[in-house]
Amino acid sequence: MTRRSAKNPPPEKFDEKIIDVDVADEMQGSFLEYAYSVIYSRALPDARDGLKPVHRRILFQMDDMGLRPDRGHVKSARVVGEVMGKLHPHGDTAIYDALVRMAQSFSMRVPLVDGHGNFGSPDAGPAAMRYTECRLDSAALLMTDSIDEDVVDFGPNYDGQLREPSVLPAAFPNLLVNGTTGIAVGMATNMAPHNLGEVIAAARHLIKHPTATLDELMRFVPGPDLPTGGKIVGLEGIKDAYETGRGSFRIRATTRVENVTPRRKGIIVTELPYGVGPEKVIEKSSDLLRAKKLQGIADLIDLTDHEQGLRVVIEIKNGFNPDAVLENLYRLTPMEDSFGINNVALVDGQPRTLGLKTLLQVYVEHRIEVIRRRSEFRRRKAADRLHLVDGLLVAIIDIDEVIQLIRGSDDTAAARARLMEVFDLSEIQVNYILEMPLRRLTKFSRIELETEREDLLATIEELDTMLADEKRLRTAVADELGDVAKQFATPRRTVLLEAAGQPATTIQLEVSDDPCWVLLSSTGLLARTLDTSPLAAEGSRVKHDVIVSAVKASARSEVAVVTSAGQSVRLQMLDLPTLPATAAAPSLAGGAPLSEFIDLDRGESALGLASLETSAEGLALGTASGVVKRVAIDSPSNKDRWELIALKDGDEVVGFGALRSGDEELVFITSDAQLLHFPATSVRPQGRAAGGMAGVRLSAGSSAVFFGAVDPGTECSVVTVAGSSAALPGTDTGYLKVAPFSEFPAKGRGTGGVRCHRFLRGVDTLILAWAGHSPSIAAAATGVAIELPEPDGKRDGSGTPPAQPIAAVSTRVWS
């Protein structure tokens, strides 16, 4: 029996609450959280600045500590402690290893940390962080440049007491230039370093030519440029890696054969494969010599030092061919190694496998955003200063009255109120004047302030112009990249060889200039066929790819995309995916979205394709306000986008037609169901800068919903869908009507047309209209083909409801 006392009280009773948890669910949830943490917060770099969180925090903290190239080195342990205590709550070993890698010239193509002391070698690790010193290298300043100008987003650190950047501004494509490696949960990344000058040249070309092909970019970036040099043998894997994000290539040591003694030749190794050190080669070769798997070597000597760099001398026995021995060394030792490219990086927080073009696009978009935010910040700063200068100008003109008014006031609040009332100044301006010592106010000269005001106005105007023009932003990015290349670009170190012993040549994708069709589907997919056989879009066979625009071209030619903004955008055929040519309906499932080839502004849409071949007849365009214009399609040789019509504010192009003979009929269909067609000859051609002429007379509140050109010598039909203007787009099936085009009489240009659809109760507008060659076919929003009824011969019938909402109408046969 246990005795109870004050020292041995009875146990207290607690209400027990046991929660049953499914072990499988708990393990799955915990593992997913751990995997996401490793992927996002440790192992994978951001595609924008090419940095993992630990590298980003090191650079940011060193910049915050003022460890710039013009300052002295500090102990690495101090940097590691600051990063660990403020930003990166992990082990000091991991932080120091990351810092060391950024200082190793044999690991980074452009080192970001200037190390002082033993920072290791390919065969040995660095000294402890208490012995080494560091500071930022010159190139690292480009990574953090303008970070204090609100160019990137900041977030709380691990304990919420400080803030850290989610990404660095990165004034050069660090991910491609320096590469990276990391192992996450279920995925890994391994990216090769590249030459800074080559990568920047490719990025600038992509800025100028957003639709550039991979082959064009590879003219600037033919392959990796490794910090340790060497030779890359075979370029097929590199092309695969640049296209898909995965590939491999072989790296060989750089060697030469020379006399090492008066009687003996030797192989001099001056560069080794990336990540391979001389000790590893010597050790492997010695093992092979002892096992008698390698013959002809008399001695191996490592003469590597900091002055001469890498130098390994392999003495060859007399009677052996040095070239034959070298081939065995390549085959059996790490003097030839393979590098597996796996370009996995974070894009919008998600891991993606990226090709060369996508990597450059992500970086360019990041830099455009940085320049935009920097310009907005500088504009705000200049505007704030201008506001103060305006106040100072008012005060200095009447300085005596200002002083008398302040002296006559009872207190600061009264002086502030009287200054604001008398001189019509803002509170900010008055506070600035009141807080400024009188001796400083009198030193300000009116001429100096007016000069500063003019400079500020010019700065604001320049920044406003840049912010309003996407092209100027892109040009600014390209110019800044060019300045970086001038300062930091270095010659290529790695030699590229097509095959062993042969110099590398530029890779070209030879495509013969064969005729083809260029196709655009209702869902925005682009593709081209292999020939120009007539196309038939049969509704029962077409799935998700009703063709709404088709143009004959050739494989090496160009076509234009006409947009609703009255612009024409150049499109190169070699960029497009190729479909097999058939007389039946081609499937555009193998096509690619239009957005991958051209950039459209907000609210701008693609209307169709037009041939760039020289034609005296050109195009006819119609706008929502009823304007019609004929214009030549010829393109400026130095522009990828050019204007076809000068639109008024609020107007847009609703359609266009290619004029083959000049005898076509131009057709307007308005929202209040009026159809007008007139000869194309009644519209005189105009230059690209002209605004067109009157096409159709519109009633109050109506607009043109369709414009096109039809050949009166062929069978044509008119398709209209009437519905309610109050319904959400894509939800109202409306009333569908198909009528022969011949039922509608022609009228003169600038008139009101004739009724083409009779509205029933609850129907007040045309939600879709089309006129073109018969037979016709429709498409739903998903792209699925919808069969249309035969023309009923009624010019102004009310129609019948279709099975589902119609998103587009097109001809069934293209020839």
Please state, in angstroms and rounded to a whole number, the distance separating the CA atoms of residues 652 and 631. 16
Q: Of 800, 805, 732, 811, whose CA–CA distance to 765 is shortest?
A: 732
Q: What pLDDT, in 10s, does the model give residues 90-108? A: 889 999 999 999 999 999 9
pLDDT at 619: 92
Please state, in angstroms and rounded to a whole number, the distance separating the CA atoms of residues 119 and 101. 8
Q: What pLDDT, in 10s, does the model give residues 169-186? A: 999 999 999 999 887 767
Instruction: List strand residue ranges (DSSP E) for 487-591, in order.
Output: 495-497, 515-521, 525-528, 535-536, 547-554, 558-563, 567-572
pLDDT at 503: 37
Asked if 250 and 337 touch (Cβ cutoff 8 Å), the reply is yes
Please state, in angstroms and rounded to a whole number, the distance separating the CA atoms of residues 194 and 186. 26
pLDDT at 20: 79
pLDDT at 504: 34
Q: What pLDDT, in 10s, does the model give residues 266-277? A: 899 999 999 899
Residue 397's SS3 state is: helix
What mean pLDDT comes out for the span 67-82?
Answer: 94
Reported confidence tier of residue 790, pLDDT bands at 50, 70, 90: confident
- Which residues does 777 contact at the CB level (< 8 Å), separation at least 6? 537, 539, 542, 546, 785, 786, 787, 788, 809, 810, 811, 812
| pLDDT tops 50 at residue 365 | yes
> What's the DSSP call for residue 9?
P
pLDDT at 48: 93
- Which percentage of the chain shows pLDDT scores above 90? 50
- Which percentage of the chain shows pLDDT scores above 70? 89
392 backbone dihedrals φ, ψ, rounded to 5°? -65, -40
Least confident among 173-182, 459-468, 551-560: 551-560
Q: What pLDDT, in 10s, does the model give residues 719-729? A: 999 999 888 88
- Higher-pLDDT residue of 289, 184: 289
CA-based radius of gyration for the chain: 36
Any long-range contacts for 162-166 (C-beta under 8 Å, 24+ apart)?
A: 162/86, 162/87, 164/56, 164/57, 164/60, 164/87, 165/56, 165/60
Least confident among 95-99, 262-266, 400-404, 735-739: 262-266
Sequence letter at residue 198: E
What mean pLDDT comes out for the span 513-536?
Answer: 79
What mean pLDDT comes out for the span 233-255?
Answer: 91
In terms of average pLDDT, the best of 144-148, 396-400, 443-447 is 144-148
Tokens encoding 281: 């080669």
Reported confidence tier of residue 37, pLDDT bands at 50, 70, 90: low
What mean pLDDT comes out for the span 492-500?
Answer: 82
Burial class (CB in 10 A: 0-12, 13-18, 19+), 331: exposed
Q: What pLDDT, in 10s, does the model give residues 351-363? A: 899 999 999 999 9
* Burial readout 121-133 (b: 16 or more C-beta within 10 A, e: otherwise): ebeeebeebeebb
Instruction: List strand residue ranges (DSSP E) for 65-139, in order.
Output: 74-75, 113-116, 133-136
Please state, in angstroms and rounded to a whole number, the distance separating the CA atoms of residues 708 and 381. 50
Sequence letter at residue 328: N
Please state, in angstroms and rounded to a whole number, the distance separating the CA atoms of residues 450 and 85. 49
Burial class (CB in 10 A: 0-12, 13-18, 19+), 697: middle
Q: What is the strand order of the sheet 188-191 is part of?
A: 180-183, 188-191, 336-342, 246-252, 231-233, 495-497
Q: Which helix (H) or strand (E) holds 417?
A: helix 412-423
| pLDDT tops 90 at residue 671 | yes
Q: State the helix-helix crossing angle for 196-208 and 470-488, rounded to 10 degrees.
A: 170
What mean pLDDT comes out for the span 220-249?
Answer: 92
Please state, in angstroms and rounded to a whole number, the distance separating the CA atoms of residues 169 and 648. 39
Please state, in angstroms and rounded to a whole number, the distance separating the CA atoms of residues 585 and 813. 9
In sign, the C-alpha dihedral spanning 382, 388, 392, 393 is: positive
What mean pLDDT comes out for the span 773-790?
Answer: 87
Q: How are beta strands 495-497 and 231-233 bridged, if at all?
A: parallel
The catalytic position among 34, 36, 131, 158 is 131
Helical segments of 469-610, H only? 470-488
Mean pLDDT of the chain: 85
Active site residue 131: yes
Please state, in angstroms and rounded to a whole number, the distance separating the CA atoms of residues 548 and 808. 8
pLDDT at 478: 93
Helical segments of 309-355, H only? 322-332
**Domains defined for the chain, CATH in brackets:** 51-169 (3.90.199.10), 254-334 (3.30.1360.40), 363-475 (1.10.268.10), 515-814 (2.120.10.90)
| pLDDT tops 50 at residue 541 | no
Asked if 315 and 301 touch (Cβ cutoff 8 Å), the reply is yes
pTM over 0.75, yes/no: no
| pLDDT tops 50 at residue 756 | yes
Sequence letter at residue 511: V
| pLDDT tops 90 at residue 542 | no
Please state, in angstroms and rounded to a whole number, the distance separating the CA atoms of residues 754 and 666. 14
Angle subtended at Cα 104 by Cα 98 and Cα 105, rounded to the nearest 5 degrees:
145
- Whether the bond between 262 and the residue before it is cis, its omega within 30 degrees of 0, is no
Q: How many helices (H) and strands (E) does the chain have?
A: 18, 42
What mean pLDDT comes out for the span 479-505?
Answer: 79
* Burial readout 227-242 (b: 16 or more C-beta within 10 A, e: otherwise): bbbbbbbebebbbbbb
Q: What pLDDT, in 10s, does the model give residues 237-246? A: 899 999 999 9
- Which residues does 608 contact at the CB level (< 8 Å), separation at least 6? 520, 548, 549, 561, 562, 656
Dihedral, 414, 416, 419, 422 alpha carbons, nearest 10: -60
Q: Of 414, 251, 399, whose CA–CA distance to 339 is shortest?
A: 251
Angle subtended at Cα 320 by Cα 319 and Cα 325, rounded to the nearest 5 degrees:
170
Per-residue three-class SS string for 761-801: CCCCEEEEEEEEECCEEEECCCCCEECCCCCCCCCCCCCEC
Furthest C-alpha separation in the chain? 118
Asked if 53 and 38 touch (Cβ cutoff 8 Å), the reply is no
- Higher-pLDDT residue of 414, 71: 71
Reported confidence tier of residue 529, pLDDT bands at 50, 70, 90: confident
